[in-house]
Amino acid sequence: MKKLITEEDIATLVSVTDPQYAPDGRRAAYVRTTVNHKRDSYSSAIMIYDTESGISNPWTFGDNRNTSPRWSPDGRRLAFVSDRENGVPQLYIIDAAGGEAKQAADIPWGVSDPIWAPDGRSVLVSVSLTSAERADEKEKKKHDEYEPVDIQSLTYKRDGKGLLNGSWAQLVLIHLETGEIQQLTDHEADHYDAAFSPDGRQLAFTANLCELGDAGKPSDVYLMNLADGSLKQITPHRGSFGSCVFSPDGSYIAMLGHENEFRNATLEKAWLYDVKTERLSCLTDMLDVHLSDALIADSIIGGVTPRPVWTNDGQGFYVLGSEQGSTGIYYISIDGLVYPIRLEEEYVNGFAFHPDQKSCIAVIAKPAQPSELYSISLEDGEEKQLTSDNDRFIEERIISVPEKLQYETKDGLTVNGWFLKPAVFEEDQTYPLILYIHGGPHMMYGHTYFHEFQVLAAQGYAVVYVNPRGSHGYGQDFVNRVRGDYGGGDYCDVMQAVDEAVQAYPFIDSGRLGVTGGSYGGFMTNWIVGQTDRFKAAVTQRSISNWFSFHGVSDIGFFFTDWQLGHDLFEEADKLWDRSPVKYASRVSTPLLILHGERDDRCPIEQAEQLFTALKKLNKTTSFIRFPKATHELSRSGHPEQRMKRIRYICSWFDDYL
């Protein structure tokens, strides 16, 4: 007999990510992540799929995180990152013929994002360093927790990392034969998305090297001459560019980015830089698709969005795109021809092409199936499932399959979403409905397995979740429509979702409605309960309650508030206050549970504290749960036990009031 899904099943799910074909196409590496019960954390293993036998075998073992598998150019070695020694991520190399993995270097600050040099003799990694530190130092000085922190930049903290203490991501080359560590960059800026030219003479990377150097300023692509370290800026210093990759013959650089026309609501586009003529051109001006992964899911740990992948003939490349609640693979020619080669009702989280480019492997999650590795033929689109890590989970549990929901708004927009019936459904019964609102706001719900929704369905709730204006996946105009109108048209969109669900499904008890959401969805939850008493219970998560203070306490608040609300802090403070949910605390009659992580630097916990204090002073029904050490990513990649407890709190609150 099949079982109902529970919050504890987080520990049963397997996350498959980051596929990488070997140069000969006979093997593929990927990462398999599971919950580590002993550590209340995650363990990741490097898995190798053999294309002839169809069998996957682990190449790493133990309770640690082993990630970022990258084949050497000749396919004889595999580089990866592991925290097996003292919990510090280091670069390891393993021989493809067998044997133990060897640590390539000892860099006390840890490394990430390995990239092989074309000659296979060195590997580039990213290392976070302050201006006083060098990657080749033998020992990391112990940090004095009582030492005052001197802050000069607006970018002084980051969610998931806390205080940066003046550290920046630098590019470091590890020479494998000698063990020499060569630091290539030392600007006070993060350097990322590096790529070697095919001849190994140049390095492209992205950085924000403008004088003020703060987030929200332009991010440009630079070319470094590795012989003398000289730099050349190749993007126009008025937008955000990255994910660059050289064409096979080095004639072009493909990259993704935009010119900030709609601030952080601007769609990612594909660009081409001609190395010889030094001309940069946009290839997808006419394509109304966001060329990045905007889909929200809670069952994929450590997903890696692939960069553009060039065709062997250098006449085009493949990228990931988000459209209509799906992510798919798009082909873009150097002449600007664009079309999807794979766009189904599914979540493609990563892909890698076979060397002959007649097929690819992809990590795919589907509405009723967590992530697995698939092979996809480019000739006929036929797919073959290669792994079965979550098959037993699916076979043993009742999974509610989402039904599509679509409606027209009063101002002529089309809103898309999904409806989830209770897992055990009886025709003659009525059921409570929960409206779930996503974060971002420039993200999207879509055609993927969402564990938390399944838990709610298993508890007897129907769930409606939609992509209101501001969501990605429906074009530039749609994603931009929330800017300057928080709590306006978007509020109408999500409230209409409830109306549509109640009308379409007669078994919904309109007297038992709940609402919840996180981040922007938390803001919307706070806003909703201050505007209407329609909901009988609400749960707000990692939310925003006061735009005035958010501007100064969030790691992105100083530009995000300007870009999204459109009101100047100093000249239009009253307008920021008008859009702040805490202003309307006296109107709240809905019992409100407040969930927040104590180390959330994106939406700091003071936002929750303000709201809780206001509601308590007004004798409103509320409760406040704090999660120690939890960041903004609690619901997606936080400590497993905290993730489980969080879902229990949500279910219990709705059980009590619905």
Q: What are the pLDDT digits (tens) for 391-413? A: 999 999 999 999 999 999 999 99
The closest of 6, 73, 8 to 37, measured between CA atoms, is 8
Instruction: Answer for the pair 255, 273: CB distance below 8 angstroms, yes or no.
Output: yes
Exactly one of 632, 635, 637, 639 is catalytic; name it: 632
User: Could you tell me the CATH number of the domain that includes residue 410?
Assistant: 3.40.50.1820
Q: Is residue 196 part of a domain?
A: no
Per the annotation, the verdict on 632 as an active-site residue is yes
Instruction: Indicate whether 276 belongs to any domain.
Output: no
The count of other CB atoms within 10 Å of the CB of residue 418 is: 24
DSSP 453-466: HHHHHHTT-EEEEE
Helix (H) or strand (E) holding 490: helix 489-504
Q: Which two tokens stand for residue 375?
A: 């092979």
* Cα within 13 Å of Cα(205), Cβ side: 28
Structure tokens given for 299: 């069952």
Residue partners of 605: CB distance under 8 A and separation at least 6: 596, 597, 598, 626
What is the per-residue pLDDT across 473-531, written as a single tens digit (0 to 9) for each? 999 999 999 999 999 999 999 999 999 999 999 999 999 999 999 999 999 999 999 99
Q: Cis peptide before 441, with omega less than 30 degrees from 0?
A: yes
DSSP string of 293-342, one letter each residue: --B--SS--S--PPPPEE-TTSSEEEEEEEETTEEEEEEEETTS-EEEEE
C-alpha–C-alpha distance, residues 621 and 639, integer Å? 29
As a dihedral over the C-alpha atoms of residue 375, residue 377, residue 381, residue 383, rounded to 10 degrees, the angle is -20
Phi, psi of 364 (to 5 degrees): -130, 130
For the chain, how are helix, strand and coil distributed in percent, rounded to 5? 20, 35, 45
Query: Using an 8 Å Cβ cutoff, are 427 and 505 in contact?
Result: no
What is the spatial distance between Cα 45 and Cα 65, in angstroms, rounded to a whole number? 7
Q: d(Cα 459, Cα 4) in Å, to the nearest integer? A: 8
Number of H helices, E strands in the chain: 11, 40
- Angle at which helix 451-458 crosses helix 640-657, to 10 degrees, equals 40
**Cα distance between residue 550 and residue 605, in whole Å:** 10
- Give the CA dihedral 28, 31, 32, 34, nearest 10 degrees: 180
Token pair for 87: 């919990």
Query: What is the β-pairing status of strands 462-467 and 537-541?
Result: unpaired
For residue 2, what are its two tokens?
A: 């099949």
| pTM for the whole structure | 0.97
Q: What is the CA radius of gyration of the chain?
A: 25
Q: Is 177 inside any structural domain?
A: no
Inside any domain, residue 491: yes
Cβ neighbourhood burial of 626 (10 Å; 0-12, 13-18, 19+)? middle
Among 56, 82, 519, 580, the active-site one is 519
CA 185 to each of CA 129, 171, 213: distance values in angstroms, whole numbers, following the listed order: 10, 6, 15
User: What is the Cα 5 distance to its own chain's centre?
Assistant: 25
557 to each of 121, 152, 608, how far by Cα in Å? 43, 17, 16
Residue 389's CB is within 10 A of a number of other CB atoms, namely 19
How far apart are alpha carbons 452 and 274 in whole angstroms? Answer: 46
User: Could you tell me the two tokens for 617?
Assistant: 């002073």
H-helix or E-strand spanning residue 497: helix 489-504
CA 156, 162, 166, 167 torsion-angle sign: negative
Q: Which residue has the tokens 């400590």?
A: 639
User: pLDDT at position 167, please?
Assistant: 93
Q: How far is 129 from 159, CA to CA, in rounded Å?
A: 18
Number of domains in the chain: 1
pLDDT of 275 reads 98
In a domain, 60, yes or no: no
* pLDDT value for 211: 63
Residue count of the chain, please give it: 658
Q: Tens digits of per-residue pLDDT, 355-369? A: 999 999 999 999 999
CA–CA distance, 149 with 310 (Å, rounded to integer): 45
Three-state DSSP class for 414?
Answer: strand
pLDDT of residue 238: 86
Please tell me the distance from the alpha carbon of residue 440 to that of residue 556, in angstroms, as a whole number: 12
The SS3 of residue 255 is strand
Within-domain flag for 232: no
Q: With respect to residue 578, please indicate whether it lies within any of the assigned structural domains.
A: yes
The yes-or-no answer on residue 519 being catalytic is: yes
CB-CB contact of 60 with 101 (8 Å): yes
Cβ-contact 652, 430 below 8 angstroms: no
Domain that holds residue 484: 400-657
Task: With respect to residue 540, please indicate whether it lies within any of the assigned structural domains.
Answer: yes
CB 17 within 8 A of CB 302: yes
pLDDT at 97: 93
Q: Which amino acid is at 581?
A: P
Pair of tokens at residue 254 = 């493909």
pLDDT confidence of residue 39: 76
Q: How far is residue 500 CA from its own chain's centroid?
A: 30
Sign of the Cα pseudo-torsion (27, 28, 31, 34, in order): negative
Euclidean distance between CA atoms 629 and 27, whole angstroms: 39
pLDDT beneath 50, residues of the chain? none
